[in-house]
Structure 1
């Protein structure tokens, strides 16, 4: 049997969807399993043993119809028996259709259901602490009565060489294991997913005062200016603990450095999911428009903790649609003052460092 799993979204979505491949490997141990992802997310799933091949969806397939059609023909030639489309957008609809697979599964949408032989309706309420994101993905493989018994965590696999190289890199920058090391996810993927800069700076000040830890900033190159702004808002004593220019030049390098951290703190996003997949404790700050129950994977209030403005001011969210919350997230964020969650942050640090 040949199986294709499709997930063309961001890093966090791709990483979370690896549990589908793991579930399939358990269910069909002799099958060939391929995982189709966008090229820029490939590094997060390298070395994963639960699928046989990574199929890259390159940028040119989105921009060049001829290139996309050539790609579809290659998919056809692969003769898949079973396709699980986690993405569920036009590109993956067509990939699924062109595969010619006799079994084609995806999440239910009334306008695309005809592409598939089976569709699954997403549950809106979690039944475990794994989160809706985990549970709904498992529904693409298992019947409802098996979901709770088949819960598994996404995992990242690093080589010994990658970890050792990261350790040497940290030591060359004066960062040694005897001092706690904390990664700060200072910025979200967009401003609507980013705690106000001054509040983040206050949180970092509190972390350093509480732990005397070394601090690394997680940001991508085009966010450097904003990350520097947050750095400048922290107290001078805090700045002496921040290694602003110590960062990896690749995603695999970042993962290897993250594996040496004692905790990750900051905005919800891919870095949080990666930390959890490396079994690193996380303290996550959710955007006002993101439903915490969708992505607070395996939260236990100790190693994995998260906060949301609705935890403190539920009245701001009464009778508000997700569309309204997303539109007004920048107006809601100023209410999310550091003082609201500082006690929980201190508790998290005391339990994990």
Structure 2
């Protein structure tokens, strides 16, 4: 098949990384196909060096803010000559982009508004069939409109260069006080406050990690979050503060990925950082937000990738509430996931990694 295919995935880093598996699946099965990937500009670093993407199509911040810029962008799409469009996002904005391409085959998810925009529609599954998880299985399902022989799952991958690895190793040289000392990357903040484990609780977790393993810790943060870093450190013990390498952090997304590739594990809030660590085969221990569906985003949960979710410890809290209701009271539900509840599972993880 030598068709020209556009894959659309708006929004966050974890979404874009996960949906990149469609590019790999298509190019592996059909090497002569041309695959373009439409993503938001800030997510481009997770696609660098990906051999299965022929071209990235950038949805800029201006297009997000300006209807005029978005309309102008859509008006240019027919000139690309796409034969097939796969809209993983399937929201109203991306539906308009999909239809504007004038592709003969337009694939998306079934929602109340999507019938007018797509030729092929699929419904979400809510029960995973493999350890890959629903986020991956539901994406791969979209490929069935092209060929029913695609696999059910693929693992997302990041491609770190030798130069990036060498730079990370140089930054981390001589930080260990003994050769066998562990180095853990800590995802201290989620993508939003309602996806962030309370800092008071996280401090207890970090104190426990340092006390039981004597590990050195790196924090995943950006300079504008330094106040939150300082707030967390103030809650930690003196010993933990001495083990945190606060001044070594990823000054870009690619640098974060390279630094993480040199760590023994990544521990902390579920989100893009966890997904990136998995994509470079670094073990992960993810603390899920109470309102995030575990089955959807617990990708490749196995001996290497562990998960803790409030529902595992107190299922009764979920009996009469929808996830939308829980999201509105995220602070309360987070307060119920006491650090002492997760330390036994964390100890098992630390013992292995």
How would you bin the TM-score normalised by the shorter chain? over 0.9
**Aligned-pair RMSD on alpha carbons?**
1.7
CA distance in 1 between counterparts of 2:179 and 2:119 reads 53
Residue 207 of structure 1 corresponds to 209
TM-score (norm 2): 0.95
Match of 1:108 in 2: 110
Report the TM-score when normalising by structure 1. 0.95
Answer whether contact 1:2 1:80 (CA < 8 A) is retained.
Answer: yes
Whole-Å Cα distance in 1 between the matches of residues 326 and 148 of structure 2? 34
Q: How many residues align?
A: 350
| Residues 1:163 and 2:165 aligned together | yes
1:144-167, CA deviations, whole angstroms, 9 ceiling, x for partnerless residues? 9757x4421000001101111111
Please list every run of 5 or more consecutive structure 1 residues that lacks an aligned counterpart in the other structure.
none
Counterparts of 1:176 and 1:119, CA distance in 2: 56
Rounded to whole Å, the distance in 2 between the matches of 1:190 and 1:67 is: 27
Q: Shift of residue 191 of structure 1?
A: 1.6
2:127 is matched with 125
1:208-256 residue CA offsets vs partner (Å, 9 max, x unmatched): 1121111001123332211211111111011111011211211111111
110-119 or 56-65, which moves further after superposition? 56-65
Compared CA separation, residues 313 and 82, structure 1 to 2 (3 A)? same
Deviation per residue, 1:271-312 (Å, 9 max, x gap): 000000010000010111111111111111x21000011111
1:175 & 1:211 partners in 2: Cα distance?
Answer: 13
The structural deviation recorded for 1:172 is 7.0
Which of 270, 273, 276 is matched with 1:271 structurally? 273
1:322 aligns with 2:323: yes
How far residue 54 of structure 1 moved from its aligned partner, in angstroms, is 0.9
Aligned position for 1:15: 17
Which shows bigger deviation, 186-195 or 339-348?
186-195
Structure 1 CA distance, aligned partners of 2:120 and 2:179?
Answer: 50
| 1:312-353 per-position Cα deviation (integer Å, ceiling 9, x unaligned) | 11111112111111111111111111111101000001011x
Which residue is 2:256 aligned to? 254
Deviates further, 167-176 or 114-123:
167-176
Structure 1 position 176, deviation (Å): 8.6
Report if aligned partners of 1:217, 1:244 keep a CA contact under 8 Å in 2: yes
* TM-superposed deviation, 1:79: 0.6
> Is residue 221 of structure 1 aligned with residue 229 of structure 2?
no
- Give the Cα–Cα distance (whole angstroms) in 1 for the partners of residues 115 and 29 of structure 2: 25
Q: Which runs of 5+ in 2 are unaligned?
A: none
